[in-house]
Amino acid sequence: MYELIFTVCSVVAGAACREANPIPLEQHVGLMGCLIASQVEGAKWVETHPNFYVSKYTCQPARTFARI
């Protein structure tokens, strides 16, 4: 299982970039599926956050521990 993580930057605040919350993918989605999903999910994310753009995306195995 993979999760997709976007690095997003503010259009308004110049170089203010941060990592967005991870997007968990379906359990059957592999690495190639994650790469394909990055385009679709990135477009959805930017549509709901018009003052940001996606500068980078990362596919990584889903974490098995809680985030703090």
> Domain spans of the chain?
2-61
pTM: 0.77
Please report, for residues 7, 12, 41, the alpha-carbon distance to residue 29 in angstroms, rounded to integers and kept in the order given: 21, 34, 14
Q: Are 57 and 6 in contact (CB under 8 A)?
A: yes
Q: Tell me the per-residue pLDDT of 13-45, one tens digit each, with 9 for 90 and over.
A: 777 899 988 988 888 888 899 999 999 999 999
Confidence of residue 68 (pLDDT cuts 50, 70, 90): very low
> Does residue 4 surpass a pLDDT of 80?
yes
Q: Is the dihedral of CA 46, 57, 39, 63 positive or negative?
A: negative
The secondary structure of residue 61, as a DSSP letter, is: E
pLDDT reported for residue 65:
43
d(CA 47, CA 49) in angstroms, rounded, equals: 6
pLDDT value of residue 17: 92
For residues 37 and 24, give the distance between their C-alpha atoms in angstroms, rounded to a whole number. 11
